[in-house]
A and B are shown apart, each in its own frame.
Chain A
Amino acid sequence: MKILVGYKRVVDYNVRIQVKPDGSGVVSDGVKLSANPFDDIALEEALRLREKGIATEVIVATIGPADCQAHLRNGLAMGANRAIHVVTSDAIQPLTAARTLLKLIEKEQPQIVILGKQAIDDDCNQTGQMLAALWNRPQATFASKVDVTGNAVRVTREVDAGLETIEVDLPAVITTDLRLNEPRFIKLPDIMKAKSKPLETIEFAALAVESGDHLKTTNYAPPAKRSRGVMVKDAAELVAALKTKGLL
């Protein structure tokens, strides 16, 4: 069984995002870039399924500019068998990403596609669901537990009401939540090994994907700031302050 993993590069989660003064975007020069944390979890889950003997091959795929190769090498160093790089310098939107991944599915015929539930840059939380719809296959989003049994997979999902378990037939799309697993660290020898693993590049235009980039972003603004309030000395003062505000 093949597993395809979506592996997006984003601004590292520790970077404090600054909006450019002219509102044209966020400051991206020189900021650290990393794998989307949810995608690391997706890759980890795929690797574990391979280690259990359920999957035979794990493919990481990204859609991004030419310098994403180093990012894909990280995915290979973590343990993916091979990588696919769809090269585009344009920032594409989720519908286009889903249509692009569908092209890769048609080519690779994976049984399971695992994506992060959201990318921590645009926070859209859309691509996996859109891909499942376009593929006309099940989706199991926000997964915190994945059990593959034969031709189906049982997925426990983190939902607002608690933990929901659903069973979906394969092939299917799974999107990961935070507590699915803890991704492994990359070891130095694996970085060396990753250099010789296959990395295929495909020009985005060559896939003839119909663009789904229908949204136009016209302005970036910093969020409304909450200002620092008052400090109180003890519990009694806190209660008094809450009473003054009419909260008690």
Chain B
Amino acid sequence: MARILIIAEHLNGKLNSSTARCVTCAREIKPDAIDVLVLSEAPDSIAAEAAKIESVSKVLTVANPANAHALAAVCAPQIAAVAKNGYSHVFAPSTTFGKDLAPRVAALLGVAQVSDVMKANDAHTFQRPIYAGNAIVTVHAPADQILVATVRTASYPAAGNGANAAPIEAMNVSVELPTHTRFVELAQAKSDRPDLQSARRVVSGGRGVGSKENFAIIFQLADKLGAAVGASRAAVDAGYVPSDLQVGQTGKIIAPELYMAIGISGAIQHLTGIKDAGTIVAINKDGEAPIFEVADIGLVGDLFKLIPELEQALN
């Protein structure tokens, strides 16, 4: 009997869509229950959002000032304790939140973790990428242990938040919480643009953009399209944009309907971050760039000439 516990990701009182993507993955297993666990200082509004997600059976909340920030060392023992209440699976999104947290839970439970699940063949058989997505492996986990997994969010659409009204249950978890780890601050770029990980359209710039100042052209096009902005590792390393815009193997893995790669040559590490995009558009001055091997629509030329023309054509 599969009972899946999904760890809700949230920030500033809002549920992240990665949680609903985990629900879609959980549904592949056809479990008997999909419960969502919200650890927070003030979980009520987050839990209310989670309760609306289709297929969620129950939302559990643990209100504790220690949960004000998602510190893995603090959250993990609470999750491990809840998981032992008859859960067969613990899922977290394969975002920096889940990547940080899930292995700590797995180790406390003494079990292995399956990272980046992209398909569940059955309750204990999963497909996941290795070598920057250059190979897909099928892994089997033992059925007699709790299975901890992170879900590759780009592989799953978010479950709808329709008419569901799952019951919300407040819990007390009595485990000792460490004080050796303290939150100091979160520096977040203020942006009105859509979130990179859930945006339907993304415009990304690479080394070809040339400078931080020149990146304005990427932001401008993105705004015209109502798109989020991304970047290649080269552009981030060169300091054109902050690291949270990086798309690729070690950055964000995304699946927008439209991805525009501008001045990006297309290293395999970058391509692994966009392979689930609906349509890839590449604009690059080098017609031999590897990005054109995966682009649905390619345009060779100088981006500084083409982008203003593109904006004009969009009017």
The 8 Å CB contact of A129, one of B103, B139, B201, B297, is: B103
B210 at the interface (CB under 8 A from A): no
Chain A hits for B63, CB < 8 A: none
Is B140's CB under 8 angstroms from A215's CB? yes
Is A168's CB under 8 angstroms from B181's CB? yes
- With contacts A133-B108, A138-B181 taken as known, whether A231 is within 8 angstroms of B244 at the C-beta atoms is no
Q: In whole angstroms, what is the CA distance A220 to B104 when docked?
A: 27
Q: In whole angstroms, what is the CA distance A213 to B140 when docked?
A: 11
- With contacts A120-B131, A234-B299 taken as known, whether A93 is within 8 angstroms of B112 at the C-beta atoms is yes
Chain B hits for A241, CB < 8 A: 297
Instruction: Please give me the residue from chain A that is nearest to B71 by CB atom.
Output: A166
The 8 Å CB contact of B114, one of A177, A215, A219, is: A215
Chain B hits for A226, CB < 8 A: 275, 280, 294, 296
B163 at the interface (CB under 8 A from A): no
Chain B hits for A189, CB < 8 A: none
**Number of residues of chain B lying within 8 A (CB) of chain A:** 87
- With contacts A118-B250, A164-B186, A177-B250 taken as known, whether A217 is within 8 angstroms of B138 at the C-beta atoms is yes
The 8 Å CB contact of A95, one of B106, B181, B294, is: B106
In chain A, positions 90-105 with a C-beta closer than 8 Å to chain B are 93-95, 98
Pick the interface stretch among B32-40, B49-57, B307-315. B307-315
Chain B hits for A98, CB < 8 A: 107
- With contacts A120-B131, A130-B104, A215-B114 taken as known, whether A158 is within 8 angstroms of B243 at the C-beta atoms is yes
A202 at the interface (CB under 8 A from B): no
- With contacts A133-B76, A160-B197, A219-B138 taken as known, whether A228 is within 8 angstroms of B294 at the C-beta atoms is yes
Is B297's CB under 8 angstroms from A238's CB? yes
- With contacts A133-B104, A138-B181, A215-B139 taken as known, whether A236 is within 8 angstroms of B233 at the C-beta atoms is no
Using A163-B244, A239-B313 as known contacts, list a sample of 5 further A-B pairs with CB atoms less than 8 Å apart, ordered by residue number in A: A126-B115, A130-B106, A139-B73, A221-B136, A229-B298
